[in-house]
Amino acid sequence: MQDGRVSTRRPRPVGSFTARSQRTNTNAVHSGSNGFQSAQRSYERYLALAQEEARSGNVVGAENYYQYAEHYFRLMSSIRTPT
């Protein structure tokens, strides 16, 4: 028993879950190709920043940017070969 409280939750329509999951899958397929290009741009940007920092002698700053570049590299790898 719920201590006299009245539930305000509405029942979910029968087909709402399947419609929502299909819409999500469609959007995921579309954003996957665009996501790869975005990740590639970010990877190249952080790699260039890391190389510039390394040339200027800032090893810590370069390592920071290399870590960001590695993140986007892994993201590109996961988008290219889905698991």
**Domain boundaries in the chain?**
36-83
C-alpha to C-alpha distance for 60 and 33, rounded to whole angstroms:
33
* Residue listed under structure tokens 């899958």: 25
Which of the pair, 10 or 83, is modelled with greater confidence? 10
Residue 38 token pair: 């975005």
pTM score of the predicted model:
0.57
Residue of 28 and 81 predicted with greater confidence: 81
Binning pLDDT at 50, 70 and 90, where does residue 71 land? very high
Residues whose CB is less than 8 angstroms from the CB of residue 72 and which lie 6 or more positions away in sequence, other chains included: 39, 40, 42, 43, 46
Q: How many CB atoms lie within 10 A of CB 83?
A: 3
pLDDT digits (tens, 9 = 90+) for 10-69: 665 555 555 555 555 544 444 556 888 999 999 999 999 999 999 999 999 999 999 999
Question: Quick one: tokens of 12?
Answer: 């979910």
